[in-house]
Structure 1
Amino acid sequence: MKLSGLMVALFATTTAAHAEGVLNIYNWGDYTNPELIEKFEKTYDVKVTMTDYDSNETALAKARLGNTGFDIAVPSQSHLPIWIAEGLLLETNPGQMENGKNIAPDWADPDFDPGRKYSAPWQHGTIGIAVNTDVYKGPLDSWAIAFDPPAELQGKVNVVPEMSDIIFGAIAYNGGELCSADEEILKKAHATLVNAKQHWAAMEYGTIELMLAGDFAATIDWNGSAMRQRLENPAITYVHPKEGVATWSDNVVVLKEAQNVENAKLFQNFIMDPENAALISAFARYANGIAGSEEFMPEDMKGAPELTIAEHARANTVNMRICDPEVQDIYTRIWTDVLK
């Protein structure tokens, strides 16, 4: 049946209202594939603007202030429950979207967002250490590389300034568990960080370029970042510390104050398509939580050592989470002292 001219015009207007316009994304820096954004823009006739942040704390503080102008953010699983509890997000039910069926079973009902009511999977990985083995030829299995650096690494170590990750590493190095409130363990972790800082070159997020330039010989880092370094310099190796490895995930959410809600929902659904999820991973080199994306992944990601936790560390692997408020307050005080 042919549509009348009026009905065609009305249908076109309705479709345009649903898709045309803008989308403002707030995400970690150097983490979003430009090809993904270009594909989304062309598919839905939506202009995307990207704004970077450098830590979970920065993103959360910005959201709490309100009037951000952002539609989407990408918090880590450790912090996502705070965003939900404080009413900062819209309940968009990504798990019930058309592409929600593609979420891998292990990621479909996570404890940080049961039923995927708020978030769509973005990427997931681990925290460890990238090391230039042309500079350091010793054991590659311990947090000691960053917290008690050997002579050849002293003054050449970088530490990404992500509080939860670094304090976890220091606690694990001293025999404690994630979110430990043990006074002796925390004293040791505090001393470890304060004493180690004299041997660090910097506390920077921009690790890839600086490792490749030789400004750093080792850096606490995430596995995807380390893989990007290795692909440019085969001497760079990623260390899964035997004392403890934390896994994490980042997740796409829609802010309650979003001005472009329908476009934000389109983006959540878009990234759960396997081919699009593979585009995300192909850029930043992390795994994602979308089943079927593997067949679209770059060949050099298949079997990559950074993506499989080393045997010596598997027994001490934990999922990153935020700690109880009283414990988190202690960690914040420790971190503040480290930053002095």
Structure 2
Amino acid sequence: MKKTLLLSVAALMASTALASAQGVLNLYNWGNYTSPELLEKFTAETGIQVTVTDFDSNDTALARIRQGGHGFDIVVPSDTYIQTWINEGLFVPLDMEVVTNHGNIAPQWVDVEFDPGREYTVPWAWGTTGVIVDTSVYSGDINTADVILNPPPELAGRINVIPEMSDVMAISIYYHGGERCTDDMDILRQVRDTLVSAKPNWLALDYGAVDSYAAGDFAAGVYWNGASMRVRLQNDNFAYGYPETGYPIWMDNAAVLADAQNPENAMRFINFILEPENAALISNFARYANGVTGAEEFMDEVMRDAPEIVVPEELVAAGRFGQSCPQAVNDIHTQIWTELLQ
């Protein structure tokens, strides 16, 4: 009798734990990038509680998932890293019986090079990486990488650079006339020398700098367009520039992890963010475009003609979408980046 009772209690506890697990979702995303309103709405509609853990770079996210034992269900890496995740078997294909809103992905974002046909990923947000400048401190041309790589005296010592290797390397390579995945050692040596020479003029390498810019702690930097818009909305002295020598265009993408503990809930969330009004919540919070057809009508009016969102016509051609570079090229970039950070 006692044994039967213990077994019954154990069974009850196991079923309770299972029910609890079915009501949770663990999201691994960039810091300050997930709309609280989005999560509240998802929980209200599904009963699933979402926990968000932040990462600060693509390399950090990839290393954490490779280790295993992380407990995350969904991750949001950038386009240039997606093929690595897929090749290493870290994602599961989307369950199209659950992800019924797959057709809402804007046509230009469906047959993408990094995930043809969107078998594994869906758009989270997309944007550009350029320069941000406090125009009350510096009144010169801001559509140039010189702001960061060869800064004027008034900006020296007041510069923040996002510590994202792919973005900073790309801007520097374009500045020297190369393409993203160049293996031209002459260009790469120039990139290394320029970055190492510029670094003493930088005050910090920091991701979460919106409030610091708005408070005037930084006067210029390499930054993303949406984050730059958030700065400007707090302090209208700031403006966003598109380096005329070239700037990255990128897309962050949500995918379900192969070792997800709550895969069904993850697929439901993936489907949820493909609803236009929900995709707009992502954009309204982080201030980036989203890649979902019909989301524009639900987005804040302030975004529709924002200079951080609408690229000046004469600088459109300077934008370049990311590439997944060969490993040999990535190794060289990593060597340069490691030297820079020392």
Q: TM-score range by the shorter chain?
A: over 0.9
SS across alignment from 1:306? coil
Q: Which of these residues, 221, 224, 232, is aligned with residue 223 of structure 2?
A: 221
Q: Which residue of 2 aligns with 1:166?
A: 168
Superposed counterparts of 1:76-95, under 5 Å: 76-93=78-95
TM-score, with structure 2 as normaliser: 0.92
Superposed counterparts of 1:248-259, under 5 Å: 248-259=250-261
Instruction: Indicate conservation of the 8 Å contact 1:176/1:185, yes or no.
Output: yes
**Is 1:139 matched up with 2:141?**
yes
Instruction: Indicate conservation of the 8 Å contact 2:131/2:240, yes or no.
Output: yes
Q: Distance in 1 between matches of 2:64 and 2:83?
A: 16
Question: What amino acid is aligned across from residue 261 of structure 1 in structure 2?
Answer: P
Give the drift of 1:244. 0.2
Q: Which residue of 2 aligns with 1:61?
A: 63
Q: Distance in 1 between matches of 2:78 and 2:96?
A: 16
Structure 1 segments unaligned to the other structure (5+ residues): 1-12
Q: Which residue of 1 aligns with 2:115?
A: 113
Q: Which residue of 1 aligns with 2:103?
A: 101
Q: Distance in 2 between matches of 1:117 and 1:95?
A: 13
Instruction: Indicate conservation of the 8 Å contact 1:247/1:318, yes or no.
Output: yes
TM-score, with structure 1 as normaliser: 0.93
Residues 235-263 of structure 1 deviation map (CA, whole Å, 9 limit, x = unaligned): 11000000001100001100000010100
Q: Distance in 2 between matches of 1:20 and 1:81?
A: 30
Instruction: Indicate conservation of the 8 Å contact 2:148/2:222, yes or no.
Output: yes
Q: Which residue of 2 aligns with 1:198?
A: 200
Q: Which of these residues, 69, 72, 77, is aligned with residue 70 of structure 1?
A: 72
Question: What amino acid is aligned across from residue 49 of structure 1 in structure 2?
Answer: T
Give the drift of 1:207. 1.6
Give the drift of 1:112. 0.7
Cα 1:303–1:129, aligned 2, differ >3 Å: closer, same or farther? same
Q: Distance in 1 between matches of 2:206 and 2:20?
A: 41
**Is 1:330 matched up with 2:332?**
yes
Q: Distance in 1 between matches of 2:76 and 2:60?
A: 12
**Percent identical:** 50
Give the drift of 1:98. 1.6
Q: Which of these residues, 268, 273, 276, is aligned with residue 274 of structure 1?
A: 276
Instruction: Indicate conservation of the 8 Å contact 1:69/1:258, yes or no.
Output: yes
Instruction: Indicate conservation of the 8 Å contact 2:21/2:262, yes or no.
Output: no
Instruction: Indicate conservation of the 8 Å contact 2:104/2:275, yes or no.
Output: yes
Q: Which residue of 2 aligns with 1:230?
A: 232
Instruction: Indicate conservation of the 8 Å contact 2:125/2:289, yes or no.
Output: yes
Question: What amino acid is aligned across from residue 240 of structure 2 in structure 1?
Answer: Y
**Is 1:44 matched up with 2:46?**
yes
SS across alignment from 2:311? coil
Q: Which of these residues, 188, 210, 213, is aligned with residue 211 of structure 1?
A: 213
Residues 66-125 of structure 1 deviation map (CA, whole Å, 9 limit, x = unaligned): 111000000101101100000001111569832111111001121111111111110000
Q: Distance in 1 between matches of 2:180 and 2:207?
A: 23
**Is 1:298 matched up with 2:270?**
no
Cα 1:94–1:170, aligned 2, differ >3 Å: closer, same or farther? farther
Q: Distance in 1 between matches of 2:270 and 2:208?
A: 27
Q: Distance in 1 between matches of 2:81 and 2:310?
A: 24
Question: What amino acid is aligned across from residue 284 of structure 1 in structure 2?
Answer: A
SS across alignment from 1:27? strand
Kindly report the root-mean-square deviation, in angstroms, between the aligned alpha carbons of the 2 structures.
Answer: 1.7
Question: What amino acid is aligned across from residue 37 of structure 2 in structure 1?
Answer: E
Q: Which residue of 1 aligns with 2:267?
A: 265
Q: Which residue of 1 aligns with 2:125?
A: 123
Structure 2 segments unaligned to the other structure (5+ residues): 1-14
Q: Distance in 2 between matches of 1:96 and 1:24?
A: 18
